[in-house]
Each structure stands twice: as C-alpha cells, then as structure tokens.
Structure 1
Amino acid sequence: MNFELHNRRILVTGATSGIGLDIARSLAELGAELVLFGRNRDQLAELEQELEARTQAVDITDEAAVVAAFVEMPVLDGLVNCAGISILDDVLDIQANDLENIMATNVTASAVVAREAARHMIAHGRQGSIVNVSSQAAMAALPGHLGYCASKAAMDAMTRVLCLELGPKGIRVNSVNPTVTLTPMAERAWADPAKRDPMLAAIPLGRFATPREVALPVAFLLSPAASMISGACLPVDGGFTCH
C-alpha cells in the first residue's frame, strides 16, 4: 500500500497554526506539493520557505475571495478543510451572532472551498480526495459547545453529501474527528486540572491527542492507501465516542 504523497498537490486551509500547521508539515514530509491558505501573511511567508509551498492569504468566509483564489490555482489532487473557529458559551448565554460566526466559518466557508476544489479537480480531470477536519463534538454532546457541536455535526453531514455527489466524479470525501488536540493554544486552555481531568477520564486511552496523531490519519485518507474509503467520519479520539 502506498502512503506517500509524491506528485500530489494538496490545498490546506487554516495552515498557519494549530492542527492545520502540523497537517501541512506532515504532508510535506510525505512528499506532497502544498498550497496553503491562511490569514497570517508573516506565517505564510515563513511556511513558503520552510515547506517550499505555494501560499495565499485568503479569508475563506469571503466567497468572492475564495473564488478568486482558484482562478490561477495549480492543478489539485486533494483538499484539507482545516480552517475553523470555536466560540464556547453555555446554552443560556449563547448569542445569535456567535452562532452565525461559527457556522459561517466551520460550515459555509468549508462548503465553498470544497465546492471550488471539486470544480477545479473535475475541470482538470483529477480524481482527488477531500478531508474535512471535524471533531468528536460532532458525535457527542459537550457542555458549553452548542455552536461548535452543531457546526461540526453539520460538517459531517456535508462530508456525506459531498461523498454522494462527488463519488461518481472519482473524488473521495471523508472527515476526521479528533478529541482535544494539544496544540499550544489547547495546552493553555486545558491546563486547569478541574477542566482537564474529567475529559481525560472519559477517554479510554487516558490522554489527549498530539497534532501529529491527527495529521497522519488525514494523510492516510488523502493517500492511495485509502482508495476505497469515502463518506467516513473517522474518530481520532482515543475511544471517547465509544460510550
């Protein structure tokens, strides 16, 4: 089985930080040619040098900007939809504007990027792969996560529809659904034992994921080794969602 990605060009959104940054680095190690979207121009410039990647500053919530970014896009073999936001509030405190912002980024923008990437692959005769970075929050209720849970559940539903419609075009579509992943931001957010310990107790493996442990399943789903896998929502959660 071939897990390598040589001669495959992959677009990664949200590539300048967090899980997206580790995904980009892991894909580069496996030989992929990268196109990276992000909003931090300085970080994009650094990644352009580090990973020999093509980079573009794009606000994916701006549909016109996304469409424009694909005008001179090199031929793609894959997409990783990783850009996303999280706004956490208890149900009694949630604001409509927060819900709209979460859905606009995690669902609408991801759908627009997937649409443009699929159009691009089809126009160039490529049978590619799309991976949406979802969450265990799509599969289990989490306190304070109403908007986030709803957005990631919508992303999984989107994955299945994309699978159904794009499969006949030879494009596979899957999601990965990680648990808490220890990016620098998450390490700070989960440092309080009162918050951390109950979550760890609910994970059978007893620990959180590293970004690398999320990046490698993404790489697998992009690779020829996953050539018959489409429409899957893959938990990368140490068993959290087995309850």
Structure 2
Amino acid sequence: MDKWFKGKRILVTGGCQGIGQGLVTELWKQGANVVAISNQPENLKKLKQQYPCIDVATVDLRNWEQTREIVDSLGAFDGLVNNAGVAIIEPFLEATPGSFDDSISINVKAVMNVSQIVAKKMIENKINGAIVNVSSQASKAALKDHLVYCASKAAVDSITRVMALELGPFGIRVNTVNPTAIMTEMGHKIWAEPSKSETMLSKIPLGRFGEVHEVVNVIMFLLSNGASMISGVQLPVDGGFLAT
C-alpha cells in the first residue's frame, strides 16, 4: 500500500488536529505530497513547523466561494479526504436552526463543494482518484442529544453513494468511514466521565473506544489501490457497535 502513496498528491480537510492530523502525518511518512486545509491558522502553523514538506492553507469551509477559490488554486489531486466536521450536541427539543445550519454547512455542503472542485480536476487530468468522506456511526444509529449531528452524517453517507455512482465512470472511487467515538484529544475530554462513557461502551462488543490510528489505517486503505474495486460503501470502524 505504501508504494501507491509515493509522489501522490492528497488533500485533507480539517488536517491539523485529531484524525486529520494523524492522517496527514501518516500520508507524509508514506511519501505523499500532502496539503492540509483548516480554519485554524495557529494549528496549521504548528503543523507546518513540525513538517515543513506538508503544505497548508487556511479557509473557512462555511464560505462557499472562498473555499472554491482556494481549493481550485491548489491544483490537481490524486486523493481527497473530507475530514473536517463539527459535532454540536443538543437534545431534540432544544436543537436550534443555527446549530442545524452550521452542521449542514460544514459537515455536508463543504464535502460537496470541495469534492466538486477536486473531482473535476481529476476528470480533466484523467486521474483515477479516490475520495474518502469521514462520516460516523451516528449516520446509522440514533444517539441521544445528537439530532443535528446524526442528520448531517446521514447526509454524508447519501451524497457519497451518489458521488460513487456518478464519478465511477471516470475511474474515481468514493467511500466513507464511519467511526465510533475516537480517542482524540477532544475525545478523551468528552468521554472521560464514566457517566457518559459507560452507556456507549456497553454497546460496543469490543468494549473500548477507537484510537486515531485505527481510523487512519482504514482511510489509507480506501485511498490506496488496495481498495481498487471498493466504491460507494460506508465502512464502520466501531468495534461492532452497529452489529448490536
């Protein structure tokens, strides 16, 4: 798998923390030319200082036109990972229009926007590319207080299937990964309290939450030619959560 990444250009949104940062650094280790985009300039600066060969760009993915301009200026890519996302936790009866709009703008519209630009350049340059959208187990199971998050991730799964259908004739594969709770820095803070973690853990047959590298490994596989006949799937990385 590592030979496939050597010299390939890969774009990762939300690439300066959590799963995104883990993915960006692993792609770099395997010889890819990586571009990380985010709305967090300080974190991007730290990433660039640590890995000077990784290119970075600052953009607020909620800004449709600015995103199109910046992504278009970055040139053609062999792979894209739509990793940027937001999780707004509110009970159904307290969910607000603003929360819904922000979730859809970042988790869904940005995926469509960035993917349109990257896919068009793949087609123009006759690149048999791969796109991976980071979804969630929340797209397929009801999670308490996750109304807008569940809705947005279900939309990600749906647009992924349509993208796979329409881009397949051009040799472009599109898939999602659907993780359970992952122990990023934020994940450790959210799930540190037993009162919050026990219910979720009780539904995971493997009895633990996921680690960043376990999601990164799956994304790397779906990007690589090892997954050359896989397109339009939603691949859980959930320790069996969705099997119960």
TM range (shorter): over 0.9
Structure 2 gaps, min length 5:
none
Q: Which residue of 2 aligns with 1:15?
A: 15
* Deviation (angstroms), 1:229: 0.4
Q: Which residue of 1 aligns with 2:100?
A: 99
Q: Identity of counterpart residues, as a percentage?
A: 44
* Deviation (angstroms), 1:45: 2.3
CA contact (8 A) 2:76 2:118 kept: no
* Deviation (angstroms), 1:19: 1.3
- Name the Cα RMSD after superposition: 1.3
CA contact (8 A) 1:3 1:224 kept: no
CA distance in 1, matches of 2:190, 2:148: 18
Q: Which residue of 2 aligns with 1:26?
A: 26
Q: Which amino acid aligns with 2:181?
A: V
CA distance in 1, matches of 2:7, 2:202: 42
SS at match of 1:120: helix
Q: Which residue of 1 aligns with 2:38?
A: 38
CA contact (8 A) 1:11 1:36 kept: yes
CA distance in 2, matches of 1:150, 1:214: 21
CA distance in 2, matches of 1:20, 1:70: 17
Q: Which residue of 1 aligns with 2:91?
A: 90
* Deviation (angstroms), 1:58: 1.0
Q: Which residue of 1 aligns with 2:71?
A: 70
CA contact (8 A) 2:2 2:30 kept: no
CA contact (8 A) 1:3 1:220 kept: no
Mapped pair 1:213 → 2:214: yes
**Which is further off, 187-196 or 17-26?**
17-26
CA distance in 1, matches of 2:17, 2:129: 25
SS at match of 1:106: helix
Distance 1:120 1:232, change over 3 A: same
Q: Which residue of 2 aligns with 1:150?
A: 151
* Deviation (angstroms), 1:109: 1.1
CA contact (8 A) 2:71 2:114 kept: no
Distance 1:70 1:89, change over 3 A: closer
CA deviations 1:40-77 (Å, max 9, x no partner) are: 22221232243311111011111111111133323210
CA deviations 1:96-150 (Å, max 9, x no partner) are: 1111111111001111011111012112221100000000000111010110000
**Which is further off, 219-228 or 26-35?**
26-35
What does 1:113-132 correspond to in 2, within 5 Å?
A: 113-132=114-133
Q: Which amino acid aligns with 1:182?
A: M
SS at match of 1:75: coil
* Deviation (angstroms), 1:168: 0.4
Distance 1:6 1:209, change over 3 A: same
TM-score by length of 1: 0.96
CA distance in 2, matches of 1:226, 1:124: 21
CA distance in 2, matches of 1:223, 1:198: 35
Mapped pair 1:112 → 2:147: no
Q: Which amino acid aligns with 2:175?
A: N
- Report how many aligned residue pairs link the two structures: 243
CA distance in 2, matches of 1:98, 1:207: 29
* Deviation (angstroms), 1:4: 4.2
CA distance in 1, matches of 2:17, 2:61: 15
**Which is further off, 54-63 or 129-138?**
54-63
CA distance in 2, matches of 1:184, 1:91: 27
CA deviations 1:195-221 (Å, max 9, x no partner) are: 101111110000000011101100000
